[in-house]
Chains A and B, each alone.
Chain A
């Protein structure tokens, strides 16, 4: 067998085949991911405009921060890092990410615990929670925009009837409530995903542990905090990091539900706005590079601190 393959051992033969199997995928990923990313970073150091993509000149860090001292002694700061609109977007994104992931984790945990119990109609509940997940984000944004409509929206009607509010609220338009609206829709849409990931973790916990705890008469709350939570911690950690990364790059929901609202504008939204709508292509590229850097730092920290085994290699 080794003779007809040019004297290579079986392992070498397999490794050579593996290389050719992986190469096309890597080439495709280089073409659509690595190269565009490098170009974006390069653009962020130039003054390229949308209408003239190849006419940009190298301007160093000016898109990020430039400090000029005028003759009068006045110091002028320019660039993204001195732009209040950018810091507003950073704050919006971070606030959105932490609040939404926090609630999605708690609610997802509750839904997962319910689905992990045995009861009649469990299949029906699981089917029901898949519906928000299956609905396209843009469609859910529109559906909720209608439910949150200030004059004809059903949510104002419900809240008025229950006496929760005294007058109708323009949820998506008002700066005080726009962020709540975005959070509401995101939590509704993504809790099912979180619940399914946590449920998979819960189902790995051997049933006999619960049996033993029951026989010993341990309080269910104590069982949850002492047994269940530590055992599903790895699954929970992975679920949280996936959601966090998704939340930090949020674009579509904000763009459609609360267009042009400074109260919800996130890093992705402001980058695209500068890049495409305001013809500040390179400036937008600098902002998206910053977002990339923030996410990269966040992921490294999380993996390093949490010792999370994302690749699944450790188990084999």
Chain B
């Protein structure tokens, strides 16, 4: 019996190790590669052999890369701010006020966040051209509303549903209007939820590729994913793997740090959508 127990404990921890190694190894390997220089790149190394900052210097020396990071920061921040602004009031109404068709409305919002972005690409392309914002950050800011807004509304609605009824009732008795209830009573309670939702929406906007690829045409207007996705050499043999890995590490490390800091809240936010029931 004890031998069997020992064996299952060993098996369990082996499984844990496998999970951790599988999760972390690709990023670890990207870091090693980003620090490898010249010919060292073309030998397979499992452990870090050198600490060469050359690839980083090369990436950060390209004005267009810096430019695309700035583009991504601007686009993601603006989109998320706009989405949160609209979502706070809308989710209050969806979570706390009973009205006919509420379930249907929630389903519609969820459907928008899940439907394929390619289905709106042609229509959005026309709209972007019509508004004269092709190849500007505004094309992305506008199109990213399609997934950031439903997502923030959805998650904030589930958060608001969980706020105790008594707080709101007390405010109503005191004669507070719905707007006062949102801005003075709920908003202070919702800060953690807003930070989480905003962060998740920010990651979504930061990572988006299809719209950014289609609505930009010059290197200075690209976002980070497009810049990295289209980084290539003159031929298949000349792909600059070192700089690509350095660029990948640069744009990923801030995200990973944020995610690890907020991990508990992120898990709550991610799962708030579906699995409550």
Chain A interface (Cβ < 8 Å from any Cβ of B)? 1, 10-11, 13-15, 17-19, 21-22, 24-25, 28-29, 32-33, 35-40, 43-44, 53, 110-111, 114, 117, 119, 121, 124-144, 146-147, 149, 151-154, 157, 188, 192-193, 196-197, 199-201, 204, 234-235, 238-239, 242, 245-246, 248-249, 251-252, 255-256, 267-268, 271-272, 275-276, 281, 284-285, 288-289, 291-292, 295-296, 299, 309-316
B275 touches A21 (CB 8 A): no
Interface residue B164 (Cβ < 8 Å from any Cβ of A): no
Q: Once bound together, how far apart are the Cα atoms of A312 and B276, in whole Å?
A: 7
A21 touches B92 (CB 8 A): yes
Return the chain B residue nearest A37 by Cβ.
B120
Contact with A along B19-30 (1 / 0, CB 8 A): 110111011011
Return the chain B residue nearest A110 by Cβ.
B15
Return the chain B residue nearest A237 by Cβ.
B274
Point out the residue from A18, A285, A313 that lies within 8 Å of B178, measured CB to CB. A18
Point out the residue from A21, A32, A40, A201 that lies within 8 Å of B93, measured CB to CB. A21
Q: Once bound together, how far apart are the Cα atoms of A27 and B57, in whole Å?
A: 46
A32 touches B178 (CB 8 A): no
Contacts of B121 in A (CB 8 A): 36, 40, 271-272, 275, 288
A114 touches B210 (CB 8 A): no
Return the chain B residue nearest A43 by Cβ.
B122
B16 touches A127 (CB 8 A): no
| Extra A-B contacts (18), CB below 8 Å, given A126-B267, A309-B277 | A15-B99, A18-B178, A22-B93, A125-B19, A128-B23, A134-B203, A134-B255, A138-B209, A138-B229, A141-B229, A143-B29, A144-B26, A152-B41, A196-B270, A200-B271, A242-B273, A246-B114, A314-B277
Chain B interface (Cβ < 8 Å from any Cβ of A)? 12-13, 15-16, 19-20, 22-24, 26-27, 29-30, 33, 41-44, 46, 86-87, 89-90, 92-94, 97-99, 102-103, 105-107, 109-112, 114-127, 129, 142-143, 145-146, 149-150, 153, 158, 161, 172, 175, 177-179, 203, 206-207, 209-210, 213-214, 224-226, 228-229, 231, 241, 244-245, 248, 251-252, 255-256, 258-260, 263, 266-267, 270-271, 273-277
Q: Once bound together, how far apart are the Cα atoms of A124 and B273, in whole Å?
A: 25
A313 touches B145 (CB 8 A): no
Show 20 A/B contacts (Cβ-Cβ < 8 Å), sorted by A: A25-B86, A40-B121, A43-B123, A44-B122, A53-B129, A130-B260, A132-B27, A136-B252, A137-B225, A142-B231, A196-B271, A199-B271, A242-B274, A248-B116, A252-B225, A256-B229, A272-B118, A272-B214, A275-B121, A288-B121
Given A275-B122, A310-B274, residue A18 in contact with residue B259 (CB < 8 A): no
B177 touches A24 (CB 8 A): no
Given A128-B23, A197-B271, residue A311 in contact with residue B110 (CB < 8 A): yes
A32 touches B225 (CB 8 A): no
A32 touches B142 (CB 8 A): yes
A313 touches B150 (CB 8 A): no
A137 touches B105 (CB 8 A): no
The 8 closest A-B pairs by CB, nearest first: A36-B123, A39-B123, A249-B116, A18-B93, A200-B271, A238-B274, A292-B119, A17-B178
B10 to chain A, nearest CB (A): 13
A252 touches B123 (CB 8 A): no
Return the chain A residue nearest B32 by Cβ.
A154
B16 touches A125 (CB 8 A): yes
B120 touches A242 (CB 8 A): no
Q: Once bound together, how far apart are the Cα atoms of A272 and B210, in whole Å?
A: 9
Contacts of B153 in A (CB 8 A): 25
